Amino acid sequence: MPCTLFPTINIFIKMIFENNQAFAQSLDRQDPLHPLRDEFLFPRQHNAPIIYLCGNSLGLQPKSSRSYVDQQLNNWENLGVEGWFEGETPWMYYHKALKGLMANIVGAGAHEVCPMNTLTVNLHLLMVSFYRPAAARFKIIMEAGAFPSDQYAVESQVRFHGYDPKDAIIEVAPREGEHTLRTEDILSVIAAHKEEIALVLFGGINYFTGQWFDMPAITKAGHTAGAIVGFDLAHAAGNVPLQLHDWNIDFACWCSYKYQNAGPGGISGIFVHEKHFSDTQLHRFAGWWGYQEEQRFKMQKGFHPEAGADGWQVSCTQVIPMSLYYASLRIFEKAGFMEPLREKSLQLTAYLCYLVQEVNKSLGFEQYKIITPSTAGDRGAQVSIVAQYNAKEIFEAMVANNVLGDWREPNVIRLSPVPLYNSFEDVFLAAERMLTISKTLVAHKK
């Protein structure tokens, strides 16, 4: 049955979806972002390109990545140590070229963001500054089922300050029988603990369910409670439009290798709201690269941080990982950053959700249940699908048939059509193969 979705989206006004390949191809022809697909390299298997729906885990390689890295290898070859201050892109200032682009992606001022380190490292460094437990206020509120690295980071921070995670960490969990959190529940937990919380730390988008949390509402509630509010944007940055500055978020960090295509272990980004820049009481774990840029090589005693987010740097800047991030950021720039990408993304996920229901209809029972919120504003590019029967076998058969999503125990298949490089035809073909495989593996369950 056709369904009508998102009447406000201008390029696809009152879209009626159809379950056939020609229709998917016609959407691709109308899609102004479709040509950007050619900027990426698709892995191949069985002599054919893979239908890659795994950008939530590792974004595809831009064709330009190699030349961005090569440029820096050439500088190193030709300039040696002089590369720090010589050449077209002196390494000393290389990060500045990225900051404006990163700021566009997360909705911040360029001075509020900086590329550095990797994500969990940055989460720790930012908690050093922004988790400052005191006698009565020492608790952290976070989502239950946060990404494990975040759980470990928070537990170890709490212990580092001498608290027991059992006392100091409050997790907000979905209600009985539900998969995702209700905003009202998050806000009421924050309000209920308003005397005790030092920090509210949430994911922007939950990695398992794909739920995009109401970041402005959480931030407001956290501030009303007198707490600092930070976000891990691993699954949100480069996926959904963000306004970190205007939403008054205190700090955030993200990785660049998921939706931002900067390669395995890619460099992380941080955001610190400018309102904190003048606070000289903030603790930092300091290192020479956070020192005032003009004075850095005077090598003097006593740490004086560089202004802005750059003052949180610790170690020598990572030029090669930054060059990979830069290559990808330039493609976001070509796309016009997040607003056009978001329009397409909503259509891709809507089409995928429609087709999954079509698969269920063909099978005659609800083999697949989508646990990602159906409301457009509550999700990003990822659709998490619980497979009722033979989940692992179905996932593996899809991979064998060139459809690469990703798998989460015990029975969740995550498919993430990425608007920079996925097409409507990709989504159609993925669903078509899912149906064929399901007919073989689970049709008898009806």
Ligand X SMILES: *Cc1c(COP(=O)(O)O)cnc(C)c1O
Task: Supply 100's token pair.
Answer: 């404006």
Dihedral sign for Cα 211, 215, 221, 223, please. Answer: positive
Q: How far is the CB of 317 from ligand X (least distance, A)?
A: 18
Of residues 288, 428, 411, the one with CA closest to residue 358: 428
Shortest distance, position 344 Cβ to ligand X, whole Å: 22
Q: Which is nearer to ligand X, 107 or 321 (CB)?
A: 321
The C-alpha atoms of residue 216 and residue 246 are separated, in whole angstroms, by 9
- How many Å from the N-terminal Cα to the C-terminal Cα in the chain? 21
- Which residue's CB is nearer to ligand X, number 123 or number 335? 123
Q: b/e per residue, 364-392, with b = 16+ CB within 10 A? A: eeebbebbbbeebebbbbbbbbbbeebbe
Contacts for 143 with CB less than 8 Å, ≥ 6 apart: 171, 172, 181, 186, 202, 203, 206, 213
Q: Which is nearer to ligand X, 151 or 362 (CB)?
A: 151
Q: Which residues bind ligand X (CB under 6 A)?
A: 118-120, 147, 149-150, 203, 207, 232, 234-235, 255
Query: In terms of CB distance, is 118 or 436 closer to ligand X?
Result: 118
Whichever of 356 and 412 has its CB closer to ligand X, that residue is 412
For the bound state, the minimum distance from the C-beta of residue 305 to ligand X, rounded and expressed in Å, comes to 23
Rounded to whole angstroms, how far apart are CA atoms 413 and 421? 20
| Nearest approach, Cβ of residue 213 and ligand X (Å) | 12
State which residue, 204 or 311, has the beta carbon closest to ligand X: 204
Q: How far apart are CA 53 and CA 389, in angstroms?
A: 21
CA 19 – CA 432 distance, rounded (Å): 9
To the nearest whole angstrom, how small is the minimum distance from the Cβ of residue 87 to ligand X?
A: 30
Closer to ligand X at the Cβ: 133 or 269? 269
Distance CA 220, CA 215 (A): 9
Widest pairwise Cα distance in the chain: 74
**Least separation in angstroms between CB 150 and ligand X:** 5
In angstroms, what is the minimal distance from the CB of 325 to ligand X?
A: 13
